[in-house]
Amino acid sequence: MATPAKSEKKEVKYLSKDFSNFKDSLIDFSKTYFPNTFNDFNESDPGMMFIEMAAYVGDVLSYYIDD
């Protein structure tokens, strides 16, 4: 796997604090680091289920951290 140049480096923003921002960050991360493996971002794709589950976990953990 080729890693992107430093100027292209994407990281998941853990300070996003909500589901949609976590989801967008995870999609950008996937597009950067796995362009050939994971390139179907349709809502019905099984891969999106994993992205949405990870975004949900991030959202819930952010809620409990702030609580």
Give the burial string for 27-54 (b: 16+ CB within 10 Å, else e): eebbeebeeeebeeeeeeeeebeebeee
What is the reported pLDDT for 46? 92
Give dist(CA 1, CA 41) in Å, integer.
20
Residue 6 lies in a domain: no
What is the reported pLDDT for 17? 83
Q: What is the share, in percent, of the chain residues with pLDDT greater than 70?
A: 81
What is the reported pLDDT for 44? 92
Domain that holds residue 17: 12-66
What is the reported pLDDT for 15? 72
Q: How many CB atoms lie within 10 A of CB 9?
A: 10
Non-local (6+) Cβ contacts of 16 within 8 A are: 22, 25, 58, 62
pTM, to two decimals: 0.76
Give dist(CA 39, CA 57) in Å, integer.
22
Q: What pLDDT, in 10s, does the model give residues 2-30?
A: 555 555 677 776 676 899 999 999 999 99
Number of domains in the chain: 1
Residue 38 lies in a domain: yes
Instruction: Choose between 9 and 42: higher pLDDT.
Output: 42
